[in-house]
Structure formats: structure tokens, C-alpha cells
Structure 1
């Protein structure tokens, strides 16, 4: 869709009264990581897309600002053809979702934000962004991508990647650096007071305490939100706990309807 790679799973007889769901991945992730979650949502019309600059959307260029990211999300929401849409974002994907709801709420009726970074929160943690941007200063965007990926998945996983897969990840460094730099600008963070949709803020019960604290604060700061935890899960709950993450997505739909 306009250069963006999209995955979609639809029931044979969708309920026209239920919203479609669009899943938005985080930094250095991709739509395919939601595959197991999507298979567990068989009664919903669910799409996930590779954000600009990642995976199958690598050749679509770089989205430099959060506004550009939100515009891509709304284009996907309209592409579904559904009259109403719930957006569930993991990590930075939730930040994109909140900007879309703040600035252009057409079609959107509810949100999910799972451990999503918002720099205006008192509990915001920038460790990963700082590490990646420091690496970028020394070795450019590819170095930022490697440093961030090693932080998220560990050195052993990075070292096991095939050369072609490693090169693909390094090529995503331009987008990673662009969005991390934008998070440092006042315009690169959502205005929470303008997010007037119901939001289910999620976190992993086994996540870093700082991530959980930020999720709790985010739920308190948003006008219409509540907080849920996925017991035993860490930041990558959509990968490690697909059943529970699918139930989290369902709660986002229920809250919207």
C-alpha cells in the first residue's frame, strides 16, 4: 500500500459492527512479529504493516517526524475500508498511534499502547535511545542499528544472524536514528491531553520496573485510559506470550466498543 508492506487476516464473515484492528510495531521490529497474535484473533479483521524504513517498507524511504508516521498509519487505516478502526501499538508503535489519535482521529475509535515511550512523562527512560544515538555519532546509522538490536535481543542473537539478515537490520539504521532524534524534539511526542479516545495501556509483568512505571503514569495522564499487565511477560510480549497479547488486543477492541 503506497510502498508499505501490509499483512492482513480477515474472517470469512466479518461482523460489520466490530472495528478493524491495525497493529503497529516498534523500533527495529516488523509486522511479521505480530503473526502469532494475528492468528489468535480469527474473529477480527486485523492488519499489521511494516513502518516506513523497516523490513518490506525499507525502500519507501525514511519517515523523519512523528507526524509522517501518523500519516502512514492513517493511510493504512483508510486502506482497510473499515468504517471504524482500533489501533494497537507496541513500544514506539503506540507513540505513533497516540499522535494519530491526537491530530487526525478519522475512523479511529480506540487505542492500545504497550510500553510506549513518551518523553514528557516523568518516568520516561531513554537508555536505549541514548545508546543508539551515541553509537550513531561514532559510526553512523548502521552502528546505531547494531547497538539497539544487541540491546533488545542480546549479543548472542545478533551474532547468530546470517550475513544477509544482519545487512537488512543495519539498513534500518536510518529510520531508527530519525525516529529517536524526533523523540527528543517537543514536536516528536504526543500531546496526551488531546488523545480523547479510550486507551488500554499495557505492560509486561516481568518488564523492567521503569517501563512499567512509565506505562502506569501514561494511563494516569491520558484522559480516558486504564492500565493492564500481562503476567510473566517482558517488553516483547507479542512474541513470547501471543495468547495473552491477543487477549490484550481484544480488550482494546472491547474498550472501544
Structure 2
């Protein structure tokens, strides 16, 4: 079995916590908001054919808390440069998908292939009443300084989705996501830096890297809308709907997801 190497990658005003495993063409894994490297445990088997690099974004997990405004795509560039990787395939979920798309737009020569799960497309435009209500609940929890209520609101939005009760979701997946989110909120609640966005939505047609878009059947309408828009406007994109899954399809159905990934990365 491949050994996972832990690395601290320097970035302006801080460090990123990263893990490296396997050998072969590089594949960088970018997690969803509030989560961390652990959301990709089910994809570690891909290290049989790829050099996997997964990392905690700034103000997440074991990476540095952002005390000044920053750009996630610039941190990704610093990570590739640190590992002396010229071109890599990128795989991102939600926030990680937004970073991936932004990076592919800004640095097309550094991107081979792309896999996206329910990606946000900056500037992210949320309209779904379910998501908007979840954000209101998070803000109320923040005002009350209630971390449990805050993280539960995230789980309802980002793990359960609008079509399932919490008890209808795999309890182990929900518990893992809760643990990662509690770590992120607990470690980084003092962050004062914002994650700055670029306009990707109006320039999707410029992203030519072969892209696999995966959206869970049970995701909110906003995620379906953004995935469809990307699939229609990106010149080399394929859209797959994952039956019976929500926003964390890579955790909920890893066998089918990993086969899709292998097929896409194999060209």
C-alpha cells in the first residue's frame, strides 16, 4: 500500500497542509467548503495510477487561517510550483470546483483534465430557497455563537440537500463531514481575510480542458443549474447525473465515481 506523505506548502502569509501519495500523472484534489482532505479518502485508490495531491484550502483544516484577502487559485498555483508540477489534472467539489474553474481560466497551460462535483461557478449566484434559508440559519447561529447549530446548518445544505432528512443520509458520511466542518470552524473562526472571486461565469467558453461534470440527483436546484450551464458552454465538457446522491457523490457512491474518474482521466 502506498504511504501518504504529509507536507507543509508555503504560500504568501501562511502554509497549506497537503498530502501526497502514489505515482504517475499528477491529480490534485480540492475539497468542498468547510471540509478538508478527508473528504477524498474514497478516492485514494486512484493512487495506483496517479500521483495524488490533496490539500486543505486556506482557512480550512490544518492550513493557515487567512487574516488578509486572498485568492484560492493563486494558492493552487503555489502548490503546483512547490511540487514542480508543470501540468496536472484537477478534481474539485463545490468550492474546490470553483477554484479549479478559476485556475483553468487563468492558467490553461497548467491543466490537463478536470473533474468537478457540483461546482460553484464564480460569482456564485444562489437562488434556491432551500440554500438561502440555510444561509440565514448559519448567520443566526453565527450571531448566537452556536457552533453546533452553525455546522448542522452546513450539513443540511451541503450533505443532506433539499430532498432528504438527516436520518436518510449515511450516518458515517454525515459524521465525517461534521468532524471536518467542526475542525475548520474551530480552527479558523478568527479569519478576517476574504476569499476573492473572479468572474468565471461569463467566460466558461474559454475553458477548453476536457471536463467531467458530476451532479448528484438529490442536489439543490442551484447546483444543477450551474452544472448544466457549464456543460452547455464549455467546449469539451460532459455532464453526468449521479442517481441517489447529494452533494457528496464521491463519498456516497465511490465505486461508480472512481470508475467515471478513471475513464475520464484515461481519455
Deviations for 1:88-126, whole angstroms, at most 9, x for unmatched residues? Answer: 111111111010011123421221221112266889648
Task: Show the counterpart of 1:200.
Answer: 212
- Residue aligned with 1:70, SS: helix
2:183 to 161, 168, 180: 168
Q: Describe how 1:48-197 pairs up with structure 2 within 5 A.
A: 48-57=54-63, 59-61=64-66, 64-65=69-70, 68-118=71-121, 125=128, 127-128=130-131, 131-132=134-135, 135-136=138-139, 139-140=142-143, 145=151, 147-153=153-159, 168-171=183-186, 172-173=188-189, 178-179=194-195, 187=198, 189-190=200-201, 191-197=203-209
How much does 1:204 deviate?
A: 2.0
* C-alpha distance in 2 between matches for 1:52 and 1:166: 14
Query: If the length of structure 1 is used for normalisation, what is the TM-score?
Result: 0.75
Change (3 A) 1:72 1:126: farther
How much does 1:10 deviate?
A: 1.1
Change (3 A) 1:86 1:78: same
Query: If the length of structure 2 is used for normalisation, what is the TM-score?
Result: 0.73
Cα contact 2:151–2:182 (8 A) shared by 1: no
How much does 1:243 deviate?
A: 1.9
1:229 to 232, 235, 241: 241
Deviations for 1:177-208, whole angstroms, at most 9, x for unmatched residues? Answer: 944xx56xxx3655313323222111123434
Q: Describe how 1:20-35 pairs up with structure 2 within 5 A.
A: 20-35=26-41
Which one is further off, 41-50 or 122-131? 122-131
* C-alpha distance in 1 between matches for 2:92 and 2:175: 28
Cα contact 1:145–1:169 (8 A) shared by 2: no
Unaligned regions of 5+ residues in structure 2, if any?
1-8, 161-165
Between Structure 1 and Structure 2, the one with more helix by share is 1
- Residue aligned with 2:266, SS: helix
> How many residues end up aligned between the 2 structures?
240
Task: Show the counterpart of 2:44.
Answer: 38
